[in-house]
Amino acid sequence: MRRARSGLAAILPGLWLAIFFAFPFLLVAKLSASDSALAIPPYTPRIDWSQGLAGVRAFFAALDGETYVRLTRDSLYVDAWLSSLRIAAIAAGLLLLVGYPIAYGVARCPPRLRQALVMAVILPFWTSFLIRIYAWIAILKPAGVLNGLLAAVGLPPVDILNTEAAVLLGLVYAYLPFMVLPLYAVLERQDESLIEAAQDLGCTPLQAFWRVTFPLSLPGAAAGALLCFIPMAGEFVIPDLLGGSETLMLGRVIWTEFFANRDWPAASAVAIVLLATLVIPILLFERQQAKVTR
Amino acid sequence: MKRGPSAFNIASVVLGLAFLYAPIVILVLYSFNASRLVTVWAGFSTRWYAALFRDQQMLDAIWVTLRVGVISATIATVLGVLAAVALTRSRARSRVVLAGGVYATLVIPEVILGLSLLLLFVAAGLPRGFWTVTLSHATLTLAYATVVVQARLQSFDRSLEEAAQDLGCPPWKAFALVTLPGIAPAVAAAWMLAFTLSLDDLVIASFTSGPGATTLPMRLYSQVRLGVNPEINAVSTLLIGLVATGVIAAYLIQQRRRPSA
């Protein structure tokens, strides 16, 4: 009986998510099949309720896949799709390389220090994302802090602001806590005696790491990589502020279509394509989470 | 035999933290720079803070953002506690659906969420403004609040609540009197996280806001696009100070309550 009651708690948040999260996707799908128009709101068709059922039928008859055909014809969209996935994948790889040693280092510290270090890794995440990316502009710009430092030690200046390198740097910087935490969670729980057993059987510490610690930490690596990859593929702020005009990513395309071109159907169609691309990673992530929270 | 961290472990942690904090430190330092130029240090000055407090549009944006943050975080926390209870305790099929929704909100790119919420408000005929941003932020932060509370509920000893029920307490009352005080630090943390996320959001606010409800990130973004400006450093420093103080205070309170942990 108690079980049934705790199920009741799901009603309110469930309804909320149904109204504000699930249902709007139907609207996005509908709009992606509409046409752009000079009107407010800027699309057609709209249901003409005064005509009753005929109005509804006319509305559905006017929906088509024309916007999608337009997307495949224009290389801009295809390029943006490919480079979104490429950049997010490279960034996820870099995050693993950067995040793993940090998570491993924290997990090897004494327990008291560990908590403070985990806190220190999370804290930047609590400070504004926009501000942290903005901070990188001041560092990377041609007359910025980085080049000032390089000049001080007699090195030639680098000009990477408005390039893909700056976008990757920004992504790694902003998403690092999301990579470190899942990795740390697995590494911290690992049984120390396994390593001791491996070493007793003649493994060097490095061999013990590669044969025991690393394979056991793979679920954490997968969780971290998915947790970063999915939002990074649709990232807007970082490519917009740190990337140049040639760094095309789908998040930015949706933004431009919506705000600059006022082409709501195109923005919706790109959003649907992005969502369809991310469905599999999202489902994988959910399976992973379900396993962890069980 | 416990193995301590090796030199490599220490170096990775130190370098990692340096990478995370260096940009923030630089940002804060230059908010006190007398010069407008980022690379030139022209002495200590608080002129950018003075300029900030004369910038009415910025102050308005801060006020809107704080109100949106407080209301949306409160809605998200209430819903998040309910969702967390359902996720940790219910065995019904609905649990899977709810979990799916929560985790999907967590990772879905913000542009998609922003666009879909905007279309919802247009379809519903709601004028865009303060309330549409607030509802949208509650939706965005609900998942984060749920995850934070859920983590605490999972390790919370349920037998106390069951004992209260056995002694005749109605279930909702047992929850409110026994479990809720026990998970209070996590609920507070969930609220804080929801509040900061709302304070921080640019993308969803841009889609769902209307005239008269420009939030601070929207205002900052339009200025950042024009280039680096020490006044932005000053606002950022204030924000960072506010959030860091809150988070560290919350952490210390939790530490004192559980000295063994």
Q: So what's the ipTM on this one?
A: 0.85
pLDDT for residue B3: 63
Shortest CA gap A171–chain B (Å)? 12
B180 token code pair: 């809720």
Q: Which residue has the higher pLDDT, A269 or B43?
A: A269
- Note the pTM of the prediction, 2 decimals: 0.87
Contact yes or no for A10 and B120 at CB 8 A = no
Shortest CA gap A268–chain B (Å)? 8
SS3 track for B98-159: HHHHHHHHHHCCHHHHHHHHHHHHHHHCCCCCHHHHHHHHHHHHHHHHHHHHHHHHHCCCCH
Q: What average pLDDT does range B83-107 have in this prediction?
A: 86
Residue B18, pLDDT above cutoff 50: yes
Q: Is B207 on the interface with A (CB under 8 A)?
A: yes
* Superfamily of structural domain A70-293: MetI-like (1.10.3720.10)
pLDDT for residue A21: 93
- Cα B254–chain centre separation: 18
Residues 6+ apart with CB under 8 A from B5: A105, A108, A109, B13
Choose from A1, A2, A15, A17 for mutation: most chain B CBs within 10 A: A17
Contact yes or no for A234 and B98 at CB 8 A = no
A–B CB contacts, 8 A cutoff, strictly below: 292
Average pLDDT, consecutive stretches of 10 residues, N- to C-terminus, chain A (294 residues): 63 92 91 80 75 77 82 88 95 96 92 88 82 88 84 87 93 94 90 84 86 89 93 93 88 92 91 92 85 64
Banded pLDDT at B261 (limits 50, 70, 90) = very low
Contact yes or no for A22 and B109 at CB 8 A = no
Banded pLDDT at B256 (limits 50, 70, 90) = low
Q: Is residue A205 helix, strand or coil?
A: helix
Query: What's the CA gap between B147 and B188, in Å, rounded?
Result: 13
Radius of gyration of the CA atoms of chain B, in A: 22
B256 token code pair: 């004192």
Q: Taking Cα atoms as reference points, which of A108, A187, A10 lies closest to residue B86?
A: A10
Choose from A130, A192, A250, A279 for mutation: most chain B CBs within 10 A: A130
Residue B226, pLDDT above cutoff 90: no
Domains and CATH numbers, chain B: 50-255 (1.10.3720.10)
Domain boundaries of chain A, sorted by first residue: 70-293
Banded pLDDT at B260 (limits 50, 70, 90) = very low
Query: What's the CA gap between A226 and B107, in Å, rounded?
Result: 9
Cβ neighbours of A111 (radius 10 Å): 9
